[in-house]
Amino acid sequence: MSAWTEEWQRELYRRHARKAYKRAIRFLKDHEEEIVALGERRLLEGYALYEDRMFHWSYNELRQNELEEAADLVVYGVCGIAKGWK
């Protein structure tokens, strides 16, 4: 069984989420070119599976997906903080 219990993860997240959010903003700025290039590659690679589906999503669907992806950056940041990353 993992020592990283749900309760421990929740407490770690609550303690470091704001710092991780600020780290995510810096990360986006610092890696703009790489992220834009990766976005293009992922769009083209995904076409075989999804064609143009996301271009037909509603505003709410697009916004929800953007929020979920942004939230993942915060979660990854908290994991990095737990590992001692700055």
Least confident of 17-21, 32-36, 44-48, 71-75: 44-48
With respect to residue 27, please indicate whether it lies within any of the assigned structural domains: yes
Confidence band of 4 (pLDDT split at 50, 70, 90): confident
Assigned token pair, 16: 């470091």
What does pTM read for this prediction?
0.83
Whole domain around residue 65: which residue ranges?
A: 14-82
Coil/strand/helix, residue 52? coil
**Per-residue pLDDT at 48:** 87
With respect to residue 7, please indicate whether it lies within any of the assigned structural domains: no
- Spatial separation of the C-alpha atoms in residues 73 and 65, rounded to whole Å: 13
With respect to residue 57, please indicate whether it lies within any of the assigned structural domains: yes
Would the pLDDT of 21 be above 60?
Answer: yes
